[in-house]
Amino acid sequence: MALLPSVTFSQDVRAICRQIDGLNDRILSGEIKKQDAKIQLLGLIVQLKTVVPVAGNASWTFPLQGYRLSAVGGSRGNGYYDKGYNFFDGNKHTAHPAHDIFINDRDQNDIDDKTKQPVNVLALADGVVLACKNEWENGSDLRGGKFIWIYHPKLEMISYYAHNREVLVQPGDMVTSGQKIAEVGRTGLNAFKKRSPTHLHFGTYRLVDGVPVPFNGYQQFVKTRYL
């Protein structure tokens, strides 16, 4: 069964997501005022909702294949803190509204020490790719490195995946719960440094008046599906 009607493959959906992707680039670089960005994002989200109906699988899939809750950093999710976070601060945002999910990679070569293979990053739930970054070079100050933002209409939320070694989707792509969308890596200003163990930086955000507002999804991990 298809995730969403065929309209999700239309030029309208891809065009809207490409606009969101471009807006996200301007937010990250600080090229746009926060209020202007907020107005534009709200308008684009409203447009997207008119062509992407609420449908699909709402169940969560753990975002790393072959890993479980024990891979989440901290103690019972205490690595998450969102005080002072503002999406429109872009690359200069404060706080850590996410969970770092660590892989077995002592030599920091992006390869799992046990399987000798890259670790697959999986889509949390059915949705559409809003924005992503497929390129990152050492020396860039972009903290997220190669990242992905996905909108989940059934859940009315967004998920975020950062520090990937390879991104396999583009803005406007439809994804299903558990689909491979990237591979875990070490891209990003701080993630690239030797002091940082290899991990996926994973965040969840509710849409409040079109604005991504972070929430702690750790408790949902407890009852999620593992692949």
In a domain? residue 120: yes
What one-letter code names the amino acid at 91? N
Residue 3 within a domain: no
Asked if residues 47 and 181 have their Cβ atoms less than 8 Å apart, the reply is no
Q: What is the pLDDT of residue 97?
A: 92
Mean pLDDT score of the chain: 91
| Spatial contact of 96 and 79, defined as CB atoms under 8 Å apart | yes
Q: DSSP secondary-structure letter at 149?
A: E
Identify whether 147 is part of a domain. yes
Predicted pLDDT of residue 7 = 46
CA distance 33 to 25: 13
Q: What is the per-residue pLDDT across 200-225, written as a single tens digit (0 to 9) for each?
A: 999 999 999 889 999 999 999 888 98
Q: The pTM is what?
A: 0.92
Average pLDDT over residues 135-154: 89
C-alpha to C-alpha distance for 43 and 53, rounded to whole angstroms: 16
Cα-flanking dihedrals φ and ψ of residue 121, to 5°? -95, 130
Structural domain contains residue 146:
yes
Is residue 10 in a domain? no
Query: In 88-190, where does DSSP find H-type helix?
Result: none
Answer whether residue 160 shows pLDDT above 50. yes
Classify residue 73: in a domain, yes or no: yes
Q: Does 198 have pLDDT greater than 70?
A: yes
Task: Determine the pLDDT at residue 95.
Answer: 85
Task: Write the pLDDT tens digit of every residue in 64-121.
Answer: 999 999 999 988 888 899 999 999 998 888 789 999 999 999 999 999 999 999 999 9
Contacts of residue 14, defined as CB under 8 A and 6 or more positions apart, other chains included, come to: 171, 172
Residue 30 counted as domain residue: no
Distance of CA 99 to CAs 72, 90, 199, 203, Å?
7, 18, 10, 6
Are the CB atoms for 129 and 101 separated by under 8 Å? Answer: no
> 10: pLDDT confidence band, cut at 50, 70 and 90?
low
pLDDT value, residue 166: 97
| Total domains, the chain | 1
Query: Cα–Cα distance between 69 and 72 in angstroms, integer?
Result: 6
The 10s digit of each residue's pLDDT in 35-57 is 999 999 999 999 999 988 777 77
Question: What token pair was written down for 133?
Answer: 């970054």
pLDDT digits (tens, 9 = 90+) for 99-114: 999 999 999 999 999 9
CATH number at residue 68: 2.70.70.10
Task: Examine residue 171 and state whether it is found in any structural domain, yes or no.
Answer: yes
**Do residues 131 and 186 touch, judged by C-beta distance below 8 A?**
no
Domain that holds residue 76: 54-87+95-222
The helix (H) or strand (E) run that includes residue 221 is helix 218-222
In whole angstroms, give the CA distance from residue 32 to residue 200.
28
Confidence label for 5 from pLDDT (cuts 50, 70 and 90)? very low
